[in-house]
Every structure is written in structure tokens, then in C-alpha cells.
Amino acid sequence: MQITRQADYAIRAVRYLSTLEPEKRVATREIADKQEIPASFLAKIISQLTQDGILDTSRGAKGGVFLAKKPEEISLLEVVEAIDRKILLNVCVANSGKCSMEDDCPMKPIWCDAQNALVDILRSTTFDQFAN
């Protein structure tokens, strides 16, 4: 399993914003430049993160992009799932009946345990941990 480039960029953008003063607004161009993200690609990412309540935007002379919540309230899992949706290591982890081997498969419990461990780590890692 590998997160998408878009999710990686989303993490970079949220991490950058989490290092700024609370409610500080910055231009998309600044985030793109500082985090080496193509500006046109970042605009789509910011839109998705805004729809999911992670970021907020305002227009005008004092406008820009800013965190919609405190960094300690935003987890890595939330950002990754805002972009890539639910993380799944294997189809059998979330969907019973999708695999003909499911009833007899010794791997399913391992996939489920690995899935749960990954989700727990991402859920417990918040952006305040990167602010300093």
C-alpha cells in the first residue's frame, strides 16, 4: 500500500500550515513554493481538504488558506482519508464476501491486524507533533 502523491502533498500542506501562527492565512502560492508542490495540483488538494473541514479559505486582501481546526485536532489519518478515502491493505479487510478464499484464509487476520495497526498510528499522530 502506498499513499498517493496527492495525499503526500496534502500532508505537506497541512504540516506547513500547522507550523504557522494560529489562524494565519497564507496564499496557495506560498504553500506551493515552500513545500515544492505544483500550484495547480495544490488548488485541487486545498479544495478537497476544505470540503472535509480540515482547511478553510478566505478571499480578499487579508485572505488565504488556514487550518480550520487546531493542529492537535487534525490527524494524519484524517488528511490521508480526505484525499485517498478509506485505507485498505486488502479487499477482504473491509468487504466480507469479496474473496472466495475468505472462509479458509490464514492471511485475513494478519491483513486485519496490520490494517488496524496502521490506522491506529495514523489516527494517533496529529499535526501539533510537527509544529516545532
**Given this model, what pLDDT does residue 112 score?**
87
**Given this model, what pLDDT does residue 107 score?**
86
Nine cell digits for residue 40: 495547480
* pLDDT score of 102 more than 80: no
Predicted structure pTM score: 0.88
Q: Hey, is 15 helix, strand or coil?
A: helix
Which residues are 26's β-sheet partners? 65
Which residues are 24's β-sheet partners? none
What pLDDT, in 10s, does the model give residues 67-99?
Answer: 999 999 999 999 999 999 988 888 777 766 667
Nine cell digits for residue 38: 505544483
Specify the CATH number for the domain of residue 126: 1.10.10.10
Question: Among candidates 21, 6, 1, which has minimal Cα distance to 131?
Answer: 21
- Given pLDDT bands bounded at 50, 70 and 90, which one contains residue 52? very high
Residue 56 belongs to domain spanning: 5-130
Strand ranges for 16-121 from DSSP E: 55-58, 64-67
| Alpha carbon distance 52, 81 (integer Å) | 10
Chain center to CA of 41: 15
Strand ranges for 22-63 from DSSP E: 55-58
Nine cell digits for residue 23: 489562524
**Given this model, what pLDDT does residue 66 score?**
95
* pLDDT score of 62 more than 90: no
Total structural domains in the chain? 1
What pLDDT, in 10s, does the model give residues 111-123?
Answer: 889 999 999 999 9
The phi, psi pair for 65, rounded to 5°, reads -105, 140
